[in-house]
Amino acid sequence: MAYRMDAFADVGVDEATVVRAIEVHTKTVVARLERLWAYYRNPLKARNVGAGGAGSGGGWSRVGKWYSLAQEAGLPPRVTGCGAGGVGVGGTGWPLPEDRAFDRREVVIENDIAWRIQTMVDFMFGKPVTMVSTARDEALRRAIERVLDDVWERSGGIGLLQDMALLGHVYGHVDLVLRVDWEALARGGNDLQASAAIRIEVVEPRRGVAVLDERDYRRIKAYIMHHERDAAGAPEPTVIERLLGRARRTREGKTRRIVEVLSADAWQVYEDDELVWEQRARGIDGQPPVVHIQNISQPFEYEGMSEVEALIPLQDELNTRLSDRASRVTMQSFKMYLAKGLDAAPGKSVGPGQVWWSDNPDAEVTEFGGDGNSPSEESHIREVRQALDKASGVPPLASGVVQAKIGNLSSANALKITLMGILSKTARKRVMYGGGMARMSALVLGALDAAGVFKTDPVDRGIRLNWPDPLPADERDQVFAAEAKVRLGVPVERVLAELGYAPTDPGVT
């Protein structure tokens, strides 16, 4: 059945627009995003090495370990044993060695990307963030903060924010979608009961497609979410099915293709190109319930800058040199012997307690091998690691690794100067992520206002975020500073927010 897009005619979105957007996104964007995620996650993949191979009980195959890693895709053929035009080993996609020059060597993968991304996320949302309303009336401010705190906590709380930051750092951008059950919202008694019908969700960039305004790339006309699910292997209902109380239809051996299209006034869900659910949304400030967040802004671009993309070339170089060093160490760690001019040499081993003889006066056995110092190799690896530090702005010290003498870090200022790179980058990202959280909070209040549950004026829907210091702080110093601020006349609620206490916390007055 074809898409029925009459509800989106006002924004100029028809069936051809949806089909073309999904096709372009699937063929050109998803492959790049999957590579970014693969370099961050670096998952294990079992490799079937065939009879007599690893894991088959018949001994170890010369292809090496029973698994491969995603970052091996960036290693040269001389390391992985992948010959040009070869066929996969055991049907796993690994090319067969064409000769001994393409034998798989020692492969070393050190994922320097993952711990840097995790450190950036920890600096962003390692501690709870407090939302403070900027409404004009004090009682309204308290009510807004209470409602927003309830909605964000029901949606996942700090876990939702960490997921949002992780996807944004890997892909370069992330989207938030506001799901509203308007019928349940209308039945809600007070504002907190009604807020249970609202949920904020993170949309992975591999599934979300924005249809942008031709005259303004920053304005979203409609938003499309698409994915495929195994109907037989996933018996639990989807989020939209739970929202509607709709039972799942099982289909043996088939995958369900789910497409959701939403705008400011309509929301449709298609299953295998069949319209299964539709609702007329109540307009929230005339825009779709979607908030787009860039990790690091790019001028005149919808997508932001990924933290992984800039590190991929350096990660490949590091893994290549580590693999070369491992191969060299393996080759030189043991003494080896080269026999020349010995008739009995072929097929004979050289070792202790064995004597060879020959009538050839020019015969000789030459000893070589043993691990030797390679200062240029160590220097190159060290410089690659330093380049990763500069490109990411995350030194090993940020993760608690102290490698050398780094000066006197007994004071907080000295530590901040040492971590200036990641602190400045974190401050820059707080503008982007904080702005997205503020816009989503305004949409939540707009939905409650449209349903007539919690009336607010658009002027009173702004929030201010109090970000905690990402560096460890002495609690006594924080308390002394808070007492000094109160004596200077700073509002108590603002001081408590800076300390990480919300107005709804027990014991806070």
Cα(308)–Cα(115) distance, integer angstroms: 11
pLDDT class of 251 with cuts at 50, 70, 90: very low
pLDDT for 86 beyond 50 = no
Per-residue model confidence (pLDDT) at position 366: 78
Per-residue model confidence (pLDDT) at position 403: 63
Q: What is the mean pLDDT of residues 410-428?
A: 80
Supply the pTM of this predicted model.
Answer: 0.80
DSSP 28: I
Q: Which two tokens stand for residue 82?
A: 């992948």
Please report the sign of the dihedral spanned by the C-alpha atoms of residue 351, residue 357, residue 363, residue 364: positive
Other C-beta atoms closer than 10 Å to the C-beta of 356 total 13
Per-residue model confidence (pLDDT) at position 353: 66
Q: Which two tokens stand for residue 134?
A: 């900027």
Single-letter residue type at 402:
V
Per-residue model confidence (pLDDT) at position 345: 57
pLDDT for 420 beyond 90 = no
pLDDT for 254 beyond 80 = no
pLDDT for 204 beyond 70 = yes
Nearest to 95 by CA among 86, 104, 105, 84: 86
pLDDT for 374 beyond 50 = yes
**Residue for token pair 């932001």:** 304
> Is residue 69 a contact partner of residue 75, using CB atoms and an 8 Å limit?
no
- What rounded mean pLDDT belongs to the chain? 81
Per-residue model confidence (pLDDT) at position 235: 46
pLDDT class of 239 with cuts at 50, 70, 90: very low
Distances (CA, A) of 473 to 130, 356, 482: 17, 72, 13
What percent of the chain is predicted at pLDDT more than 90?
Answer: 40
Cα(234)–Cα(256) distance, integer angstroms: 10
Per-residue model confidence (pLDDT) at position 84: 43
pLDDT class of 59 with cuts at 50, 70, 90: very low
- Which is more confident, 286 or 148? 148
> Is residue 392 a contact partner of residue 116, using CB atoms and an 8 Å limit?
yes
H or E element at residue 180: strand 173-180
Residue 134, classed as helix, strand or coil, is coil
> Is residue 16 a contact partner of residue 90, using CB atoms and an 8 Å limit?
no
pLDDT class of 252 with cuts at 50, 70, 90: very low
pLDDT class of 172 with cuts at 50, 70, 90: very high
Helices (H), 405-500: 412-418, 420-450, 475-487, 492-498
Q: Which two tokens stand for residue 13?
A: 């979105």
pLDDT for 423 beyond 50 = yes
Q: Which two tokens stand for residue 133?
A: 């309303």
Q: How many residues in total does the chain contain?
A: 509
Between CA 382 and CA 388, with CA 386 as vertex, the angle to 5 degrees is 115
DSSP 89: G
pLDDT digits (tens, 9 = 90+) for 122-145: 999 988 898 999 999 989 999 999
Other C-beta atoms closer than 10 Å to the C-beta of 313 total 12
- Which is more confident, 360 or 73? 73
Cα(108)–Cα(410) distance, integer angstroms: 37
Please report the sign of the dihedral spanned by the C-alpha atoms of residue 494, residue 497, residue 499, residue 502: positive
Residue 199 buriedness (CB in 10 A; 0-12 / 13-18 / 19+): buried
- Which is more confident, 200 or 410? 200
Q: What is the mean pLDDT of residues 336-350?
A: 68
Per-residue model confidence (pLDDT) at position 178: 93
Per-residue model confidence (pLDDT) at position 38: 96
DSSP string, 323-362: HHHHHHHHHHSSEEEEEES-TT-TT----TT-----S-TT
pLDDT class of 121 with cuts at 50, 70, 90: very high
Nearest to 134 by CA among 505, 478, 456, 492: 456
Per-residue model confidence (pLDDT) at position 155: 93
DSSP 8: G
Beta bridge partners of 216: 213
Q: Provide the Cα torsion 416, 419, 422, 424; round to 10°.
A: 40
Cα(142)–Cα(482) distance, integer angstroms: 21
pLDDT for 47 beyond 50 = yes
